[in-house]
Structures are given as structure tokens and as C-alpha cells.
Amino acid sequence: MAGRVLITGVAGFLGSHLADRFLADGHEVVGVDNFLTGSRRNLAHLRREPRFELIEHDISAPLFVEPRVDGVLHFASPASPADYAELPIQTLKAGGLGTHNTLGLARRHRARYLLASTSEVYGDPQVHPQPEEYRGNVDPVGPRSAYDEAKRYAEAMTMAYHRAHALDTRIVRIFNAYGSRMRPRDGRVVSNFIVRGLRGEAMTIYGTGSQTRSFCHVDDLVEGIVRLFHSRRAGPVNVGNPEECTILELAALIMEETGSSVPPVFGPPPPDDPAVRRPDISAVRRETGWAPTIGLREGVRRTIPYFRALV
């Protein structure tokens, strides 16, 4: 299906990489962003691309696009815990109203719809690793609730459009991802550690550092999302790298790769920080044949030059 796809959050880390990929695959891309957390720099290389159009718009307000749209990918949302703590209402509006508006747009055009969801729907998981059937352990009023509940609502709304209007939907539950085009002050762990390492400053480990995450390089992630978009599965599918490590192990690896010998310091644990996280990726494998190919060390090596140019 080569056609015209609309991507919200197009100036963000994932949105901008997806735009590049859809353009490379021969599509036209309509990008939407209000630059709340996105960056113009991530789109600078598309300025003279005739198949790319940018609409500056807050997706929590309705959007009408003509003449046609064949696919809608809703990626607009603050996504770093630091951002959604600071922007909780905008986060709920992007996931709530933004999802409703983009579903309405997709329905009007009979377009395929893909929702960017998150491993945060599992909260602080009591099942490990997390399969799609796991219903999660989320505090509906806690400090992470603006993001977690927005995405849970967004999934419910997407399934409602699928059931009530037979909309052709996909839901991708994205686990921790990293790579170029993250903001140096994004607040997430890989960007924080690389920036500190390159500056010869101490990395800060929140809590004991025994908490785990499973990090997927953006090139792998984009491939997984695109394959899912072209697949036939309407319900949620995990996409991430099941290679799990502790935050202490991550700090040691990034110290080695950035050549830093400054020992890390410890800070207070963020409230409700999930203790473990690792995707069960059997569903995406079965549906699309996708599996990640870039290990953590290799991915960090590919990412360091991007940050080196910025710090």
C-alpha cells in the first residue's frame, strides 16, 4: 500500500524516524506536530522534500485534511516521564482527545489506523516478561497516571472504533527505545547517561539501580512498527527488544562506550518507577516475522555520535 500517511508527533524522536521510513518506502507523508516536546531540527532535512507536508497543529483539537489519507499513525504525546510529570494535562489530552480526533480522521477517509501505545499500560508489572494478555498494574491517580491512563484510554477508544465502525486498526505497545533524535535533555536514561558520559560527568542512578528495562534501538523499532502497520492484527502487539538489563549494568556499559571513568552517583527513586520491564515478543514474531537485530552495545555505539555532535 503506497499512499498518503499522516503521522502525528512527527517532530518527535519516533515520529521523525517513521516519516523518513515511509518516505523511503515511496509514500507521501503529512506530518502533524505542535512542537510541545518535538523539535524542528528532527525535520530540517525534509524541508525540500516534495512528498512531505507539515501541519503545525495541536491534535487535541479536531483536524481536517484533504484530499485523501490512506494511513494515520498517532504518535503525538509527551513520552518521557520527566515530560509527562510536567505536562500531565497535555499528555491526557494528546492520548484522549488526540486519539479520538485521529480516529475520526481515519474513519472519514477509511484509512488504516495505528496507535502508538506503550509498555506503561502494564504499569509496575507483576507478570514478567509481559505478554499482551497481561492486564497490568497501574495506579489510576499516581504520578505516572497521566501517561498510563491516557494510553489505556487510547487503546480502548481504538478498539471501540474497530468494533463499532470496523476501522482497520493496529495498536503497538512500544517498550523502551533509544537512538538519534532524542533530545539531550529528554530525561530518559539512555540519553541522560550518554550525555553525562560524554561530558565526563557522573551519571545519576535513581534508586538502587537494580530495576530493569529492555532497550530497543530505533532502527529495529521502526522496522517492527512498519511491519505491524502492514500486518492484519487489530489488537495490541508488543514491539521491543527482550534483552533485559539493570540500570547499573546500563551505566557500566555506557561508561565503557563513552570512555568515562567517573563513578555514578545515586539519587532518590522516582515514585512508582516500575521494578522490571521486558516484552514478550512472540505475537509480533508470529504476525510479522520481526525480531530485533541490534544488541544494546551495538545500538549505544550507533547512538553516541549523534549526542557527541550536540554536547
Number of residues that bind ligand UDP (CB under 6 A): 13
Residue 6 CA to chain centroid, in angstroms? 16
CB-nearer residue toward ligand UDP: 81 or 224: 81
Judged by CB under 6 A, does residue 103 bind ligand UDP?
no
Determine, following the binding rule CB under 6 A, whether residue 206 of this chain makes contact with ligand UDP.
yes
- The least CB distance from residue 82 to ligand UDP, in Å, is 7
**Closest separation in Å from C-beta 177 to ligand UDP:** 10
* Interface with ligand UDP, residue 171, by CB under 6 A: no
Q: Taking a C-beta distance cutoff of 8 angstroms, is the pair 145, 272 a contact?
A: no
Q: Does 254 interact with ligand UDP (rule: CB under 6 A)?
A: no
Of these, 143, 270, 287, 302, which contacts ligand UDP (CB under 6 A)? 270
Residues 208-227 that bind ligand UDP (CB under 6 A): 211, 213
Nearer to ligand UDP (CB atom), residue 29 or residue 205:
205
3-state secondary structure the chain: CCCEEEEECCCCHHHHHHHHHHHHCCCEEEEEECCCCCCHHHHHHHCCCCCEEEEECCCCCCCCCCCCCCEEEECCCCCCHHHHHHCHHHHHHHHCHHHHHHHHHHHHHCCEEEEEEEHHHHECCCCCCECCCCCCECCCCCCCHHHHHHHHHHHHHHHHHHHHHCCCEEEEEECCEECCCCCCCCCCHHHHHHHHHHHCCCCEEECCCCCEEECEEHHHHHHHHHHHHCCCCCCEEEECCCCEEEHHHHHHHHHHHHCCCCCCEEECCCCCCCCCCCECCHHHHHHHCCCCCCCHHHHHHHHHHHHHCCC
Whole-number minimum distance, CB 277 to ligand UDP, in Å? 6
- In the complex with ligand UDP, the residue whose CB is nearer, 180 or 192, is 192
Candidate list 84, 113, 122, 147, residue with the active-site label: 147
CB of 54 to ligand UDP, least distance (A): 28
Minimum distance of ligand UDP from residue 150's CB (angstroms)? 14
Binding of ligand UDP at residue 205 (CB under 6 A)?
yes
- List beta partners, residue 178: 217
Distance of CA 228 to the CA centre of its chain: 14
The answer to whether residue 147 is catalytic is: yes
> How far apart are alpha carbons 293 and 281 in whole angstroms?
13
Considering the complex, state which of residue 236 and residue 264 has its C-beta at the smaller distance from ligand UDP.
264
Residue 226 or residue 281: which is nearer to ligand UDP going by CB?
281
Tell me: does residue 273 bind ligand UDP (CB under 6 A): yes
Q: Per rule CB under 6 A, is residue 121 in the interface with ligand UDP? A: no
For ligand UDP, give the closer residue by CB, 27 or 196: 196
In 3D space, the residue among 51, 74, 58 whose CA is nearest the CA of residue 4 turns out to be 51
Of the listed pieces 106-114, 122-130, 205-213, 295-303, which binds ligand UDP according to CB under 6 A? Answer: 205-213
Stretch 175-204 residues interacting with ligand UDP (CB under 6 A): 176, 188-189, 192, 204
Per CB under 6 A, the list member of 18, 115, 172, 247 interacting with ligand UDP is 247
Interface residues with ligand UDP (CB under 6 A) are: 81, 176, 188-189, 192, 204-206, 211, 213, 247, 270, 273
Q: Which residues are catalytic?
A: 147
